[in-house]
């Protein structure tokens, strides 16, 4: 099988897997969630995270038995080596999800020889499927992204919580500059 045929098949598989995981996550959004602490930095995990990762792993393995998979919740389960490695964050934004804030996504990346070649981000609440594929650009709901030149450079500013942020002096200076 050629690189491009594998990549095309991987894209279809990943879109299906993230869609199904997103539907599962959305189904449980309004329900009580079993929430557990994950580490000591304010991060949490729910049973839905684990269910979604199991579903995605199963879909990928049903098509690509020889590919390696690493997930946020279960790590690398198989010991096999492969040039193809799938990276899964089954519920990116679990803290938001756990408190009922509908800002989260299902994320899957495929690496080939340690280079990202496919990225899928599905936002179930907004029904937005973002797909980026090596040498083919990026799209949202099958519409390619376009860049507009404005001639004016504007900075981008982002903020995260957890993961040592509260103890990081640089993060605290950034936060103070935003207030």
pLDDT digits 0-9 by tens, 73-83: 998 987 788 99
Residue with the bigger pLDDT between 4 and 161: it is 4
- Here the CATH number for the domain that contains residue 109 is 3.30.540.10
Ramachandran area for residue 114 (φ above 0: left; ψ -120 to 50: alpha; else beta): left
Please indicate, yes or no, if residue 116 is contained in any of the structural domains. yes
The pLDDT score that the predictor gives to residue 15 is: 98
**pLDDT tens, position by position, 11-21:** 999 999 999 99
Say if CB 48 and CB 33 are below 8 A apart: yes
The mean pLDDT of the chain is: 88
Supply the pLDDT for residue 132.
97
Question: What integer pLDDT is reported at residue 35 of this predicted model?
Answer: 86
Does 169 reside within a domain? Answer: no
Domain assignment present for 80: yes
Residue range(s) defining the domain that contains residue 70: 3-144
pLDDT at position 41 is: 75
Q: How many domains does the chain have?
A: 1
Tell me if 140 is assigned to some domain.
yes
Residue 70: inside a domain = yes
pLDDT exceeds 60 at position 164: no
Mean pLDDT on 136-156: 81
In a domain, 77, yes or no: yes
Q: Considering the domain boundaries, does residue 26 fall inside one?
A: yes
Q: How confident is the model at residue 38 (pLDDT cuts 50, 70, 90)?
A: confident
Residue 164 belongs to some domain of the structure = no
């Amino acid at each position: 099988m050629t690189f491009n045929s594998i990549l095309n098949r991987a894209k279809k598989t990943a879109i299906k897997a993230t869609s199904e995981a997103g539907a599962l996550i959305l189904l449980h959004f309004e329900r009580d969630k079993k929430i557990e602490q994950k580490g000591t930095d304010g991060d949490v995990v729910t049973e839905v995270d684990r269910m979604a990762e199991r579903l995605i792993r199963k879909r990928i393995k049903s098509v690509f038995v020889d590919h390696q998979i690493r997930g946020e919740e279960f790590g690398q389960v198989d010991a096999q080596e492969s040039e193809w490695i799938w990276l899964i964050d089954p519920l990116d934004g679990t803290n938001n999800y756990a408190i009922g804030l509908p800002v989260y996504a299902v994320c899957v990346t495929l690496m080939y020889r340690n280079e990202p070649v496919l990225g899928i981000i599905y936002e179930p609440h907004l029904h937005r499927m973002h797909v980026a594929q090596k040498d083919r650009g990026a799209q949202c709901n099958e519409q390619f992204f376009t860049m507009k030149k404005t001639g004016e450079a504007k900075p981008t500013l982002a903020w995260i919580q957890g993961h040592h942020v509260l103890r990081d002096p640089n993060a605290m200076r950034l936060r103070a500059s935003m207030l």
